[in-house]
Structure 1
Amino acid sequence: MAAQQSSDTESASPALGRSLLWPAAAVCLGVLLVHNSFDASAGVRPPIPAVAPAPAPSAASPSPVPAPSRSIEAPWLPRSEPKRISIAEIAVNAPFTPLSIGPSGQLNAPPANDTNLVGWFKDGATPGERGTSVVAGHVDTKTGPAVFLLLSTLKAGNTVDITRADGAVATFKVDSVETFSKARFPSRRVYADNGTAQLRLITCGGAYDKKAKDYEDNVVVFAHLYAPGRT
């Protein structure tokens, strides 16, 4: 069942289920949004939005703009698929699975029976690449707690390490952790590309509505590329 949208044109409520509907025209400031479709039998689900692919860095690309409230951000990395995510503060150490849009126009989601797995939209920016890379994981499933159970407990300054296929480990620093009502999800703020390498980690949060079989909120971790390196 597709999530309802509020009257706010900047709001959307992307959510993770067995599949996600890909609207024919959902362009918001150059960012493509994914609306959710959820089978109630799949259990609890966190959100999984997707973003349009970020342009690859080149000699003609503008330099990243430093954020005024923190140290200068690390330059972005070339495109390379993520292989593993590690968040020491919440004991996360999990592999990635790429998410793609199927023949029906739906975005396939990570298997609900694997509690230690995160997904990323493979046609969006890869973690460390210029753009906003979106990573989602279950908070729990029918079988119990899942990979992003403690995502909401992260604090500003915590770090997220993502090991990539090219051997680089992209380290992101958390800027903030916020909870948004799914009825008024600030899509522009969450998915916007500000010309630097950004990361969004997303899962479900808030109260669980038994009637709707859905969590009422989304937890979003905002982070920026802090230190690219190699293993």
Structure 2
Amino acid sequence: MTSSTSARRRHLLASAAVAVLLLTGCATGTSAQSVAAPAAAAATPAFPVQTAAATQTAAPSSSPTSAPQKVLPASDPVSVSVPSAGIDSELLSLGLKADGSVEVPPDGPGAPAGWYNGSPTPGELGPAVLLGHVNATGGGPGVFANLRELKTGDLIRVARQDGTTSVFTFDHADAYSKDAFPTQTVYGNTEGPELRLITCDGYDPATGLFDDNYVVFAKLVA
């Protein structure tokens, strides 16, 4: 039986106009490469997130002849753990603000990551989206500062409210300019349950801004 939450989420994705929404709130202070930012660095758009029909129309990322994958029932995530990158964080539920932009995790040292609740829950069919800062306000690493350390085969575990844990394996990662973010590639349909971890990247010391986003792609294995 399909849960009302899951049905609502699919309705939001299917009925929204095709768009890319920019989150604001990349903390300034250090870059993804731990380069110190200017003390007066300005805020910059953070994570492009689309809540659109593109999720329904994108071509599957897997071969149509591949074996069916396990799919978990809907259950909101509560925490994420990535041992190889030193990530162990509770997860906030992030929705849309009144102006249509996506909520962001709070700034500051120790700020947790968040799950965009317009995306599938981790383990459901499609790409679940987790967002986290690359740095902390005033300097120091953010929760997703070490995403670049992930390599093929590394595991990402997401604990869920129903007591289960969805386990994903790192597949690949790419950096994308915020001015040319590939919405379909990141948020498009997938044949199985997948995960996206998104943070800021491409720190420019001349402007104090992050010009890119770094996106981890992972697939459910258990």
Give me the whole-angstrom Cα distance separating, in 1, the residues matched to 2:100 and 2:43. 22
Deviation of residue 42 (structure 1)? 7.3
Match of 1:127 among 122, 141, 144: 122
Give me the whole-angstrom Cα distance separating, in 2, the residues matched to 1:112 and 1:130. 31
- Equivalent position of 1:96 in the other structure: 91
Match of 2:210 among 202, 210, 215: 215
Deviation of residue 122 (structure 1)? 1.3
Give me the whole-angstrom Cα distance separating, in 2, the residues matched to 1:91 and 1:73. 32
Give me the whole-angstrom Cα distance separating, in 2, the residues matched to 1:189 and 1:83. 26
Alignment CA distance shift 1:222-1:99 (3 Å): same
- Equivalent position of 1:169 in the other structure: 165
Deviations 1:145-181 (A, max 9, x none): 1111110121111110000000111000111011122
Q: Does 1:78 align with 2:65?
A: no
Q: Taking every aligned residue pair, what percent have the same amino acid on both sides?
A: 32
Contact 1:76 1:129 in 2 (8 A): yes
Q: How does 1:54-69 map to 2 (within 5 A)?
A: 67=62
Q: Does 1:34 align with 2:21?
A: yes
Give me the whole-angstrom Cα distance separating, in 1, the residues matched to 2:169 and 2:142. 22
- Scaled by the length of structure 2, the TM-score of the pair is 0.73
Q: Does 1:108 align with 2:93?
A: no
Give me the whole-angstrom Cα distance separating, in 2, the residues matched to 1:197 and 1:205. 25
Contact 2:175 2:213 in 1 (8 A): yes
Give me the whole-angstrom Cα distance separating, in 2, the residues matched to 1:105 and 1:91. 33
Give me the whole-angstrom Cα distance separating, in 2, the residues matched to 1:34 and 1:204. 15
Q: How does 1:180-199 map to 2 (within 5 A)?
A: 180-199=176-195
Deviation of residue 195 (structure 1)? 3.0
- Equivalent position of 1:21 in the other structure: none
SS at match of 2:93: strand
- Equivalent position of 2:199 in the other structure: 203
- Equivalent position of 2:6 in the other structure: none
Alignment CA distance shift 1:44-1:89 (3 Å): farther
Deviations 1:109-147 (A, max 9, x none): 111125340111113211111111111100002232111
Give me the whole-angstrom Cα distance separating, in 1, the residues matched to 2:24 and 2:203. 20
Deviations 1:74-123 (A, max 9, x none): 41101100011000101111000001122333322111125340111113
Counting helix residues as a fraction of each chain, which structure ranks higher?
2
Q: How does 1:149-168 map to 2 (within 5 A)?
A: 149-168=145-164
**Runs of 5+ in structure 1 lacking a partner?**
1-23, 56-64
Contact 1:115 1:138 in 2 (8 A): no
**Runs of 5+ in structure 2 lacking a partner?**
1-14, 29-40
Deviations 1:22-65 (A, max 9, x none): xx9641xxxx532344598775774252545989xxxxxxxxx9
Counting strand residues as a fraction of each chain, which structure ranks higher?
1
SS at match of 2:102: strand
Q: CA RMSD in A?
A: 3.0
| Residue correspondences, number | 188
Q: Which amino acid aligns with 1:173?
A: T
